Amino acid sequence: MRSLRDDPDSITDLCGAGLSLTGFLGIADTPREAAPQLLADLADRGVDIRLITGDHPVTATAIAAELGVSVDADEVITGSEWNALSRKDQERVVCERVIFARMSPENKVQIVQTLERAGRVCAMVGDGATTRPRSGSRPWGSVWWRAAATRRTPSPTWC
């Protein structure tokens, strides 16, 4: 048995070795059951929702729809589009877009920092497994859970 880890180019040899397609496997990382209601409650309180993810724009849009957040195509931006913007255009776009797709961990931090420069108070919802460790010591998750636990009505400038 050969390992592709040892020789990633050996996939070419394997594909020509008489393999037959036997099926497809789909894996879904579904949102938690309470997530759609949580986002609806936040929206009812005037909290702007932003989905910042490394996922493909189509995947991110589908996840947003599953969470009850409907978006138009002009409310989605990719990491490469974000990187091509000037700082002034980033400050404009960050308040207009809802989905930030194909974002690197660095992009995610830049987006939050840009929102904060625009006067928005930011809090993170989610597992944070790919964002929080790379974003420094900012307590975004802690801020969110404190706000959620106290059921305070946040200022309309929250995002």
Q: Output the pLDDT for position 26.
A: 81
Q: Domains along the chain? A: 34-127+141-146 (3.40.50.1000)
pLDDT tens for the chain, 159 residues long, are 556 667 767 666 666 667 776 777 888 778 888 889 988 998 899 888 999 999 999 999 999 999 999 899 999 999 999 999 999 999 999 999 999 999 998 998 899 899 988 888 887 776 555 545 444 545 444 334 333 433 333 333 334
Crossing angle between the packed helical segments 105-117 and 87-96, to the nearest 10 degrees: 90
**Two structure tokens written together for 132:** 């929080």
Q: Output the pLDDT for position 80.
A: 96
Q: How many residues does the chain have?
A: 159
User: What pTM was computed for the model?
Assistant: 0.69
Task: Report CA-CA distances (Å) from 88 to 5, 37, 41, 75, 101.
Answer: 43, 34, 32, 18, 20
Q: Output the pLDDT for position 89.
A: 96
**Separation of alpha carbons 101 and 57, rounded Å:** 5
Instruction: Give CA angle at 68 (122, 148), nearest 5°.
Output: 40
Instruction: Give CA angle at 53 (99, 81), nearest 5°.
Output: 60
Q: Output the pLDDT for position 159.
A: 42
**Separation of alpha carbons 71 and 98, rounded Å:** 7
